[in-house]
Amino acid sequence: MKTLLTALAASLTLAGAASAKDKCNVPVADWQPRALLRIKLEGEGWRIRSIRPEDGCYEANAVNDKGQTLDAFFDPKNFRPVEVTIEP
């Protein structure tokens, strides 16, 4: 999964991803708890700074296992990454 997120981050950063708002159209009743997203990401080696709802998605500010600072949006129903940006 780490490789997938790294590849996704690179492709979205280069390609100019669509707004997260355009990707996350999930009724609030179908959202999984953000604590589960935290557990998932920490299991992948991320150090989470914050996870909050933003534009219909979960936005995670974190540092990955390579020490890169990330701003990532996830679908709140299935935790698939929607947009990942590596901060300079």
- How far is Cα 69 from Cα 61, in angstroms, rounded to an integer? 7
Predicted TM-score (pTM) of this structure: 0.74
User: Does an H or E element contain 13, and which?
Assistant: helix 2-15
Six-digit token pair at 27? 């009724």
Binned at pLDDT 50, 70 and 90, residue 88 comes out as confident
Give the residue extent of every domain in the chain: 2-86
- pLDDT digits over 16-69, tens only? 445 555 679 999 999 999 999 999 999 999 999 999 999 999 999 999 999 999
pLDDT score at 16: 41
Quickly name the fold that domain 2-86 has. Answer: Nuclear Transport Factor 2; Chain: A, (3.10.450)
- How far is Cα 29 from Cα 70, in angstroms, rounded to an integer? 27
